[in-house]
Amino acid sequence: MKVKVIPVLEDNYMYLVIEEHTREAVAVDVAVPKRARPLPGALCTRAWRPNTGSHLDHLHLPNSHPFQLLEIVGRERVSLTTVLTTHHHWDHARGNMELVRLLPGLVVLGADERICALTRRLVHGEELRFGAIHVRCLLTPGHTSGHMSYFLWEDECLDPPAVFSGDALSVAGCGSRLETTAQQMYHSLVETLGTLPPETKVFCGHEHTLGNLEFAQKVEPCNNHVKAKLSWAKKRDEDDVPMVPSTLGEELLYNPFLRVA
């Protein structure tokens, strides 16, 4: 299982997950600007048609975020078949409509009927499969009532599993609680996500690491794990490189929203 981290918008992360044997790919949280405008220039890519393996030759695309995704799809020579959307907010789901238009047959999955271009609603505990990759759907309400996180692992593979947590869990923090109770959010963070294997890689929806760690330091000023992670994050920020993934085991050392248990 290969994960391509794609920074988009001001601080969002979009992901492309690749099954390296079948070359099938799944996108997570496809974003476009809230008021998308065509940008100067276009790119020409060879994106694979879902379920066929054939190309969309000479596909001229505006230089915008979902098309940045398709450029990577073409470069990796994979077949993009599915979009997994964590929640309905525009900065995680608005790109679905354009992708479905460009790639007929693309399947868009999520737990909330408000998700753009949704093909089918998922339920908590449902399992999907893409080649050797298994996906367990974990309902994690808190940021929104219909927020779904995705826990992925691969057959006969020594690589650690991964969770795509959207705005439920972020590096050293979590998303703001908008539609649910504090008790529901606690259950999502501590009892659902917090009990995944400690080696699980955490791929979150936003780059809020520095601010989260600065808050964590105020909560636990004597926590040396927070101090070390903050020092690391400042260096990464200076180099302008992504700070994902972390691991769940690391989060349990410095994320105050997991350490409340």
Catalytic residue among 65, 88, 147, 206: 206
Exposure of 61 in the CB half-sphere (CA atoms within 13 A): 25
Catalytic residue among 65, 88, 89, 147: 89
208 is catalytic: no
Q: Give the number of residues written for the chain.
A: 261
Catalytic residue among 65, 88, 147, 167: 167
**107, 121 in Cβ contact below 8 A?**
no
225 is catalytic: no
11 is catalytic: no
Catalytic residue among 143, 147, 187, 208: 143
89 is catalytic: yes
167 is catalytic: yes
206 is catalytic: yes
Catalytic residue among 29, 65, 91, 187: 91
Buried b (16+ CB within 10 A) or exposed e, 193-221: bbebeeebbbbbbbbbbbebbeebbeeee
Catalytic residue among 88, 92, 147, 187: 92
21 is catalytic: no
Catalytically active residues are 87, 89, 91-92, 143, 167, 206
